[in-house]
Amino acid sequence: MKSILKLSSIAIALCVFYVGCSDVGFEAIPQDRYFLGCVIKAEYGDRCSFSNSSRLGSVDILFVNDNSGSMSTEQSKMADKFSDFIQTLDSQNIDYQIAITTTDISGQIASGVYNYASAWNGNGAFQDGKFISFPNGASVLKSTSLSQQQKIDYFSQTIQRPETLHCEQSNYRECPSSDERGIFAINKVLDRADSDFFRADSLFSVVILSDEDVRSNGGIVLPLAPEDTPDFLVSRLASTLGPTKAMSVHSLIVPPGDTTCKNSQDAQGNGAIVGEYGSWYAKLSNPTAELSSLGNILPGRVGSICSSSYTNHLIDIASRISTSSFNFTLPCKPVSDSIASDEGFDPIQISVLPDPGFEVQFSVDEQSRVSFNPNLPAGSNVEYTVVCEKK
């Protein structure tokens, strides 16, 4: 569906959908939650209509850092080129927040063996989807509260984990968990739904850094819990943060089928380290139609953890995040243009504040995602009403 809209100077005061107009805390809700915001109107042929608002150019970014032994080199490469990531976001005036968690999840590793809090995972402080504190004491870096160099320095110091280096220096005896469970960690973050991190109208983006797959544990594949799977995560996103909440996942991993990278990872640590293809992470970064049907997941990027420099990966990830943050998802599939025209109403009504100073043109894809051409300025507040197809 393609539409063209000329702005009026009067914005529609709309914020009756589940998120409201300001940052809020979240709680679990059923996937059909959007029906609670439905308004039946005779003028729309007794169809549901919804009103909502979305702030463009806003994103909450979670880095999932594999802090097991063997990862110090990769963490260092991420730190070295993180400036490329930040500079790309800043060049687009993106309003971003950044948090870091680890792949360390407490629980059973193997029969009779449990990975609970220990000195080597900060006595639990670096486990279970908890945010790691930055040098300024904050758990979330906010684009508006720090200088660019401060953000680069704080992130670079924090992504390089002392527990990882200690593990390697102890010849892999005193370590965080080697049972990497990055997807489970993201689910733990959703469990907490920290309102200081998750904003109602922001894109949720994840960047995973890991040299093994979920539960590969040094080549010994362990049983997956539901929370370890992409399907569970995408469904959980929709049920916890709502059907219009969009997520993109970007993975710096051993790409599936890249034998050169895998062999390179296997050669680390005097033979004590085994790299594994990041197949489960790649599924999140390259979602199938079936996975996308479970929630609002957008295509991401799969990059090689073996790259000598992460510059190109980080610039591309930041560019993709920027582009996606200028779009938003409608809570339902709109009535077609032809039906709406025959019945005498607009399927989508949009107003933008502040006035961008040019004619607003937008399109709606098959996933009911709205994009603008040209992009609206970062920080634009889009208020809309959509008339839904009858079910």
Task: Please report the pLDDT score of residue 218 as a whole number.
Answer: 64
Task: Please report the pLDDT score of residue 20 as a whole number.
Answer: 35
Q: How many CB atoms lie within 10 A of CB 184?
A: 25
Task: Please report the pLDDT score of residue 271 as a whole number.
Answer: 61
Task: Please report the pLDDT score of residue 219 as a whole number.
Answer: 65
> Is pLDDT above 70 for 269?
no
Buried b vs exposed e over 128-162: b needs ≥16 C-beta within 10 Å? bbbbbebeeeeebbebeebeeeebbbbbbebbbbe
Residues 51 and 83 in one domain: no
How many residues are there in the chain? Answer: 391
Domain boundary among 307, 325, 343: 325
Domain boundary among 325, 347, 374: 325
* Residue 309 C-beta-side C-alpha neighbours within 13 Å: 7
Distance, CA of 371 to CA of 59 (rounded, Å): 16
pLDDT tens track for 3-16: 334 333 333 333 33
Q: Structural domain tally of the chain?
A: 2
Q: Which helix (H) or strand (E) holds 47?
A: strand 47-55
State CA 77 to chain mean position distance.
21
The parent domain of residue 367 ranges over: 2-56+334-387
Give the residue from 269, 300, 240 showing the smallest Cα distance to 168: 269
Mean of pLDDT values over 218-230 = 85
Q: How many CB atoms lie within 10 A of CB 349?
A: 17
Task: Please report the pLDDT score of residue 216 as a whole number.
Answer: 86
pLDDT tens track for 241-263: 888 899 999 999 999 999 999 99
Residue % of the chain over a pLDDT of 70: 87
Mean of pLDDT values over 149-155 = 97
CATH number (domain holding residue 285): 3.40.50.410
Amino acid letter for position 61: I
Distance, CA of 354 to CA of 351 (rounded, Å): 9
Residues 357 and 263 in one domain: no
Residues 49 and 64 in one domain: no
pLDDT tens track for 365-374: 988 999 999 9
> Is pLDDT above 50 for 358?
yes
Task: Please report the pLDDT score of residue 11 as a whole number.
Answer: 34
Residue % of the chain over a pLDDT of 90: 71
Distance, CA of 34 to CA of 239 (rounded, Å): 11
Residues 191 and 285 in one domain: yes
Residues 277 and 379 in one domain: no
> Is pLDDT above 70 for 231?
yes
175, 30 contact by CB (below 8 A) = no
Distance, CA of 233 to CA of 217 (rounded, Å): 21
**If pLDDT is split at 50, 70 and 90, which confidence band does 22 have?**
very low
Residues 280 and 152 in one domain: yes
Give the residue from 321, 322, 318 showing the smallest Cα distance to 376: 322
Residues 131 and 188 in one domain: yes
Residues 38 and 14 in one domain: yes
pLDDT tens track for 333-351: 999 999 999 999 999 999 9
Residues 381 and 254 in one domain: no
Task: Report CA torsion sign: 367, 368, 374, 378.
Answer: negative
For the chain, the average pLDDT equals: 87
- Spatial neighbors of 165 by CB under 8 A, at least 6 apart, are 72
Residues 208 and 311 in one domain: yes
Residues 262 and 191 in one domain: yes
Name the DSSP letter for residue 332: S
- DSSP letters for 273-289: ----B-HHHHHHHS--H
pLDDT tens track for 66-114: 999 989 999 999 999 999 999 999 999 999 999 999 999 988 766 667 7
Amino acid letter for position 125: A
Strands 58-65 and 203-209: parallel
Task: Please report the pLDDT score of residue 36 as a whole number.
Answer: 52
342, 300 contact by CB (below 8 A) = no
* pTM given for the model: 0.87
- Spatial neighbors of 154 by CB under 8 A, at least 6 apart, are 134, 135, 136, 141, 146
Task: Please report the pLDDT score of residue 28 as a whole number.
Answer: 35
Task: Report CA torsion sign: 126, 240, 250, 219.
Answer: positive
Supply φ then ψ for residue 286, to 5 degrees.
-125, 70
Residues 217 and 240 in one domain: yes
53, 21 contact by CB (below 8 A) = yes
**If pLDDT is split at 50, 70 and 90, which confidence band does 221 have?**
confident
> Is pLDDT above 60 for 387?
yes
pLDDT tens track for 282-327: 999 999 999 998 999 999 999 999 999 999 999 999 999 999 999 9
Give the residue from 102, 95, 107 showing the smallest Cα distance to 145: 95
Distance, CA of 367 to CA of 249 (rounded, Å): 17
268, 248 contact by CB (below 8 A) = no
SS3 content of the chain, % helix, strand, coil (to 5): 30, 25, 45
Q: Which helix (H) or strand (E) holds 349?
A: strand 348-353
